[in-house]
């Protein structure tokens, strides 16, 4: 009979507190914007004195770093599930990838801004927090290669077109769909330019 390893309850409590701090920071960011996250506000929300936060995060940017890593880890997990269910038709698959990223982004605009924009002056994610985003890019490249899109410049163009459309939507009509309705048309333009086969998406959407 093997012995059950001793649980490190102190480490578990510490990790639980870190999660609580990050959750509080996200709540503030969703409500008031990323710039509104302060150590004092986070501490007040979880009933902790501000100096006590420093035993878990040594700066506000360290909290942003944990938020950044958490956001990309969540998207990575969701992306892995979604990629297993992609349509076989290349154009439909590319459109579905874009739509899935849009759906994830629109749920939490502050999260999208931290993940994809230089929303916090002076903040640069750590190597560990940045790693999930690199894995996302690796999965995207592998998927596009299977769809016949192998030129890195074409993948860059897809990211620029999709990201630009989403930025326009969030900047000018949050909660609406004026620019998002253009997504099938944009993907058709992209697919036509790189010679991706399949019927036009505008005829089916």
The whole-number pLDDT of residue 204 equals 59
* pLDDT value of position 53: 84
pLDDT (0 to 100) of residue 51: 77
3-state class (DSSP) for residue 32 = helix
CA distance 27 to 19: 12
- Residue 91: CB partners within 8 Å, gap ≥ 6? 187, 188, 191, 196, 197, 198, 199, 200, 201
Query: By the 8 A CB rule, do 61 and 122 touch?
Result: yes
3-state secondary structure of 199: coil
Ordered per-residue pLDDT tens for the chain, 205 residues: 455 566 677 777 888 889 999 999 999 999 999 999 999 999 999 998 877 888 889 899 999 999 999 999 999 999 999 999 999 999 999 999 999 999 999 999 999 999 999 989 999 999 999 999 999 999 999 999 999 999 999 999 999 999 999 999 999 988 899 999 999 999 999 999 999 988 899 865 5
Nearest Cα to 167, choosing from 87, 121, 106, 124?
A: 106
Question: For residue 200, what is the DSSP state?
Answer: -
Q: What was the pLDDT predicted at 93?
A: 96
Q: Cα–chain-centroid distance for residue 58? A: 24
* Three-state SS letters, 115-129: HHCCCCCCCCCCHHH
Whether the CB-CB separation of 30 and 75 falls below 8 Å is answered with no
Q: Determine the pLDDT at residue 73.
A: 98
Residue 6's pLDDT is what? 62
């Amino acid at each position: 009979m093997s012995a059950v390893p001793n649980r490190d309850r102190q480490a578990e409590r510490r990790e639980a507190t870190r999660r609580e701090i990050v959750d509080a920071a996200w709540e503030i960011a969703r409500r008031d914007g990323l710039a509104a996250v302060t150590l004092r506000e986070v501490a007040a929300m979880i009933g902790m004195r501000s100096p006590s936060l420093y035993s878990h995060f040594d700066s506000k940017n360290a909290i942003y770093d944990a938020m950044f890593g958490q956001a990309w880890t969540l998207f990575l997990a969701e992306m892995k599930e979604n990629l297993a269910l992609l349509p076989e038709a290349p154009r439909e698959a590319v459109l579905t990838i874009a739509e899935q990223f849009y759906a994830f982004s629109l749920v939490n605009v502050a999260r999208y801004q931290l993940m994809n924009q230089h929303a916090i002056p002076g903040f640069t994610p750590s190597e560990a927090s940045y790693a999930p985003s690199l894995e996302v890019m690796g999965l995207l490249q592998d998927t596009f290669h299977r769809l016949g899109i192998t030129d890195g410049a074409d993948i860059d163009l897809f990211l620029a077109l999709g990201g630009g459309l989403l930025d326009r939507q969030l900047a000018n009509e949050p909660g609406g769909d004026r620019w998002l309705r253009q997504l099938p048309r944009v993907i058709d333009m992209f697919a036509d330019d790189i010679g991706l086969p399949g019927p036009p998406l505008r005829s089916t959407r």
